[in-house]
Amino acid sequence: MDKKVVLITGCSSGIGLSLAVRLASDPNREYKVYATMRNLAKKERLLECVKGLHKDTLEILQMDVTDQQSILNAKEMVVEEQVDILVCNAGVGLMGPLEVQSLDSMRQILDVNLLGTIQTIQAFLPGMKAQGQGRILVTGSTGGLHGLPFNELYCASKFAIEGACESMAVLLQHFNIHVSLIECGPVNTDFLVNLQKSELGDMSLQQADTRTLSLYEKYLQHCGFVFQNAAQDTEDIVKVFLDAIQSSNPSFRYFTCGDIPPLIKLKITEPDGSAYISAMSKIIFSDADQ
């Protein structure tokens, strides 16, 4: 039986690395995995996880999702000349008061999270259409379904991905190509380590007013509590990806926490958004005025 060819972006750590290892280690050897990353100097962690045991089920390729030629070069390295399952997982974050963010930093978020994902899909979509089947899975975020303070650009990029994927899904069903968004909440990965974050005491924060800085400090405390008490492990996320990959009738949206989170339900069901805004503010900034 021919292996299903899977290409995954953002495999130097976290979800991408764990998913690549799991699929390449499939006991039935159903998958040939191309694990891609922007910086091949970071491939040692992935190699350590597979310990050289998957020479015929795993290849590691350099691919920068913000560089169209890099994407095309990686595509040329796929010896099967087709990709059955494309996983767009590469992503970065940006956290801090909006008024201190540089234009370059904001552009980078959009280049990676939005345009990088779309460029990657653009490159592999014609092949999927030609073969009359395919799966596209995109690592989404609950931050693409409801806004988070001090994450304006990150949420904007993820909101945009929701719209792009929904638009594609409507069309691509006519080509037997299924699009799925894997909606993640907090996850124990290197995402926080790599996050571009304004730290308290940074010179750039002098541009912000004292009230904003007080609220930002409160938000950072909230984030620390959430990641300590509610973050999921990457293996939990990988199980959801596997459900989507192995389903004969995949859903458009998967929530890694199971059900739709209560705040998102509130946002969907209440008419004008006021209750959601008040609830979110109370959860994050309770006691901020004291």
What CATH number does residue 169 fall under?
A: 3.40.50.720
215 with 288: CB under 8 angstroms?
yes
Dist CA 6 CA 4 (whole Å): 6
- pLDDT at position 87: 98
Mean pLDDT per 10-residue section of the chain, whose length is 290 residues: 92 94 92 96 87 83 97 97 97 92 95 98 98 97 93 96 97 97 86 70 83 91 84 92 96 89 83 86 70
Domain total for the chain? 1
Dist CA 226 CA 274 (whole Å): 24
Domain hosting residue 72, numbered range = 4-201+231-258
- pLDDT at position 191: 62
- pLDDT at position 193: 61
Question: Does some domain include residue 158?
Answer: yes
Question: Does some domain include residue 277?
Answer: no
Task: For residue 13, say whether it is annotated as part of any ligand binding site.
Answer: yes
142 with 110: CB under 8 angstroms?
no
How many CB atoms within 10 Å of residue 51? Answer: 7
- pLDDT at position 290: 40
Task: For residue 35, say whether it is annotated as part of any ligand binding site.
Answer: yes
Question: Does some domain include residue 226?
Answer: no
Q: What are phi and psi of 180, to 5 degrees?
A: -135, 135
Task: For residue 158, say whether it is annotated as part of any ligand binding site.
Answer: yes
Question: Does some domain include residue 27?
Answer: yes
Residue by residue, DSSP assigns 196-246 as EEPPTT-GGGGGS-HHHHHHHHHHHHHHHHHHHHTPBPHHHHHHHHHHHHH
Question: Does some domain include residue 217?
Answer: no
Question: Does some domain include residue 273?
Answer: no
Question: Does some domain include residue 51?
Answer: yes
Enumerate the active-site residues.
Answer: 154
- pLDDT at position 10: 95
The two three-digit tokens of residue 146, written as one number: 């409801």
Handedness of CA 223, 224, 229, 233 (dihedral sign): positive
25 with 104: CB under 8 angstroms?
no
196 with 93: CB under 8 angstroms?
yes
Task: For residue 38, say whether it is annotated as part of any ligand binding site.
Answer: yes
Question: Does some domain include residue 274?
Answer: no
Dist CA 12 CA 240 (whole Å): 20
Amino acid identity, residue 88?
C
pTM for the structure as a whole: 0.92
- pLDDT at position 164: 98
